[in-house]
Amino acid sequence: MKKRAADDTELKAEAKRMKLAAVEKLAYSPEELAAALGIGRSRVYDAIAKGELRANKYGRRTLIFKTEVLRWMATFPVLDLNA
């Protein structure tokens, strides 16, 4: 019985994690954005410092809205495979 209760608890915990993961992020920290894009944190902070990427402060947290991320990414150069 104890094993089954533990299994049920694990299943509930996993379901909760999956539900939380399904929530769409509306903003990212610079660290989260760097990880999501596969770039270094310094590149994100450099883009903020240069004014290429707008970030907002909420208390001590630096947040970058998803819409701003998409706008910034649209400015990236297009790869020309014929060049």
pLDDT of 20-29, one tens digit each? 666 789 999 9
Contact 9, 16 (CB under 8 A): no
Contact 62, 55 (CB under 8 A): yes
Question: Domain count of the chain?
Answer: 1
Contact 53, 62 (CB under 8 A): no
Element (H or E) spanning 58, and its range?
strand 56-58
Task: Kindly provide the b/e burial profile for residues 41-58, where b requires at least 16 CB atoms within 10 angstroms of the residue's own CB.
Answer: eeebbebbeeeebebeee
> Domain holding 35: CATH number?
1.10.10
Q: Which residues span the domain enclosing 59?
A: 26-77
Any domain includes 13? no
Any domain includes 16? no
Q: How does pLDDT run across 11-52, given as a tens digit for each residue?
A: 888 877 776 666 789 999 999 999 999 999 999 999 999 999
pLDDT of residue 3: 59
The pTM of the whole model exceeds 0.85: no
